[in-house]
Structure 1
Amino acid sequence: MLKHRGFPGRLPSTDFQFTIRRANKKKGATPLVRRERFRDRKAADRRADAGFLAALIEHFGEEPFVRGNLDAGRLSWLLGREVIAVGKLNPTDYEQLLRVDMKRAEAGFPELFAPDAPQFDWDDADWDDEDWDEDEDRD
């Protein structure tokens, strides 16, 4: 599993996770499943979606990227809309190529493209992923 170094591990000052620390060797990758976003979702959930999408755009732009250690749950909220599969989707593959569809991203999250777009303090990490070895068993 590819680890995206420099990608934020979570939304600053929250428990909304953006990355996982190590691959699940017993059960495999958590499947990506398109989740429906209803209008009555909590503001915190919408902010987590916006923060994750902003991190994807900042880190990868429009270029294809490997799913790697990106959180399946967080990706699933954007899958099929702002984040699309490159080629046929294999929902349980850590090597699946994805990309941000910038037109859909701007339509779904116009606040991220506004002149006064929200700024996320990505340096507010509570752990350093360099300290975690995916082969270590930490319980």
Structure 2
Amino acid sequence: MIKHRNFPSRLPGTNFQFTIRRAVDKKGATPIIKRERFRHRKPADRRADEGFLAALIEHFGEEPFERGNLDAGRLSWLIDREVLAIGDLDPVDYEQMLRVDLAAAQASFPLIFQGEEAEENWSEDTDEKDQWGSR
């Protein structure tokens, strides 16, 4: 399992995990499953998705990357929308190649692409109405 150096391990100031420390050999990797993002999700969960996607874009851009030590739970909220599998998705493979779909990311999380303003707005609930249709 590749460890992505300099990738944030969690959303700053929270316990929302972005990476795992070590591979799980006995049970295998935690599977990546597509999770539905409902409008009534907590604002903190939405900020975690936005922070994780922002970290992926900053770290990898549009370039393909290996799943490696990225958290399967966090990837599950973005898979098949903003994060796409290259080839067929093997949900339990640490070597699965992925890439960020920047067009989908910008449509779902426009604040990420507004530069430094986005970091300030992550802690505010006022702009989330535009992205999610409700607060």
- Report the TM-score when normalising by structure 2: 0.86
For 1:118 and 1:89, locate their aligned partners in 2 and report how far apart those are by CA, in whole Å. Answer: 31
Two-structure CA RMSD over aligned residues (Å): 1.1
Q: Which residue does the alignment assign to 1:42?
A: 42
* SS in structure 2 of the partner of residue 118 of structure 1: helix
| Residue 83 (structure 1) aligned with residue 74 (structure 2) | no
> What are structure 1's unaligned runs of at least 5 residues?
121-139
Q: Aligned pairs, how many?
A: 120
Letter in 2 for 1:76: S
For 2:9 and 2:46, locate their aligned partners in 1 and report how far apart those are by CA, in whole Å. Answer: 17
Q: Which residue does the alignment assign to 1:28?
A: 28
Could you say which structure has the greater relative contact order, defined with CA pairs below 8 angstroms and 6 or more residues apart?
1
Q: Which residue does the alignment assign to 1:70?
A: 70
How far residue 119 of structure 1 moved from its aligned partner, in angstroms, is 2.7
Letter in 2 for 1:32: I
For 1:116 and 1:7, locate their aligned partners in 2 and report how far apart those are by CA, in whole Å. Answer: 19
For 1:51 and 1:30, locate their aligned partners in 2 and report how far apart those are by CA, in whole Å. Answer: 21
- Report the TM-score when normalising by structure 1: 0.84
Seen in structure 2, the aligned counterparts of structure 1 residues 25 and 118 have a Cα distance that, compared at 3 Å, is same
For 1:97 and 1:55, locate their aligned partners in 2 and report how far apart those are by CA, in whole Å. Answer: 17
